[in-house]
Amino acid sequence: ADPVRIAAVVQSLDTEFNVLWANAANEHPLVKDGSVKLTVLDGRMDALTQSNQFDTAISEKYDAIIFVPVDIDAGNDPVQRAKDAGITVIGSNTLISNTDLYNAYIASNDVEAGKMLAKSVFDKMGGKGNVVIGEGMIGQSAQVQRLQGIEETLKDYPDIKVLEQKTANWSRAEALSLMENWLTAHAGEINGVIGENDEIAIGALEAIKAHGLDPKTIPVAGVDGVTDALLAVKRGEMMSTLQDADAQAQGAIDLALVAKQPDYKPQAKVWDVNGGKLAWEGGKSQHYSVPWIPVTLDNVDGLLEMRKTQ
């Protein structure tokens, strides 16, 4: 039989997480053995580009589309179009506001990430003091939802004061300058740093070091578990939460395939049927939530090993 054709419309292959996601997808056994033909389309962080790529994928009559939307609302309409064209659409990683349009979606809840992120920093600060927040690109679902999580957590920590809160556009270099300036503006007043992703957290971390401060005295945390973050955790300089790219990518492919052939047997390690933590439920359910993996000194070496192969 000729291979199942799947198009993956991702946010941007300039960002490490998307790259890990794409690599993981290409590592899926059926993709490797050629029975699935996967095409990864780079959304260049532009909702319109993704919309265009959907049109292309639709006119190309792909069997299924896996979607990592740039924008939470702008994602709905392309999915609707694909659905109307009778194409299976599986969501992954980030969400669209109307998830009912998906045949199924597998993601890690960014609100939850925001909460874990904030909590880890606040607890390390002993529940009181001043934090600064480096934000992602304003308006993107990860930024919106992680911030929501952070704000909800803040309610439980009345003694935590937010000194500064500004976008670093997911960029390490921007976060670096931003943090340098904050450290001057609030010399000795900053007790904790929240980065909405690891890049921002690492930029802040470098600024702290460049300022001759001991990172261990100022808790810094980020999300995603990119390589530099894992290394920093290992050095005990920051905290991070790993977002399981393998699970989200390969899981999404499994869901796309099971939608075609109900008797399909999933391949991703994350499924309980393969000894993972996530319940497969025969591929019947519509929403799968991949658990976040807090990076700790115990698991960091293992993760770094794994990273080498990704």
Q: Which residues contact 193 (CB under 8 A, 6 or more apart)?
A: 121, 131, 132, 133, 134, 179, 201, 204, 205, 208, 218, 219, 220, 221
Report the number of secondary-structure helices (H) and strands (E) in the chain: 11, 12
Q: Does 111 bind another protein (CB under 8 A)?
A: no
Indicate the DSSP class of residue 271. Answer: B
Binding mask 4-43 for another protein (x = CB under 8 A): ---------xxxx-xxx--x---------------xxxx-
Choice from 30, 45, 82, 300 touching another protein (CB under 8 A): 45
Write phi, then psi, for 161 (nearest 5 degrees). -115, 130
Task: Pick out residues in 201-230 that bind another protein (CB under 8 A).
Answer: 202-203, 206, 209-210, 226-228
Q: Which of 252, 288, 248, 250 is nearest to 88 (CA)?
A: 252
Q: Does 79 bind another protein (CB under 8 A)?
A: no
- Residue (206 or 254) nearer to another protein, CB: 206
Q: Report how far residue 190's alpha carbon sits from residue 182's, in angstroms, rounded to the nearest whole number.
A: 8
Task: Pick out residues in 124-183 that bind another protein (CB under 8 A).
Answer: 135, 137-140, 144, 163-167, 171-173, 176-178, 180-182
Least distance from another protein to the Cβ atom of residue 1, Å? 20
Q: Which residues, in sequence order, are bridge partners of residue 42?
A: 10
Q: Which of 206, 205, 227 is nearest to 218 (CA)?
A: 205
Contact footprint for another protein (CB under 8 A): 13-16, 18-20, 23, 39-42, 45-48, 51-53, 55-56, 59-60, 71-74, 76-77, 97, 135, 137-140, 144, 163-167, 171-173, 176-178, 180-182, 184-185, 187, 202-203, 206, 209-210, 226-228, 231
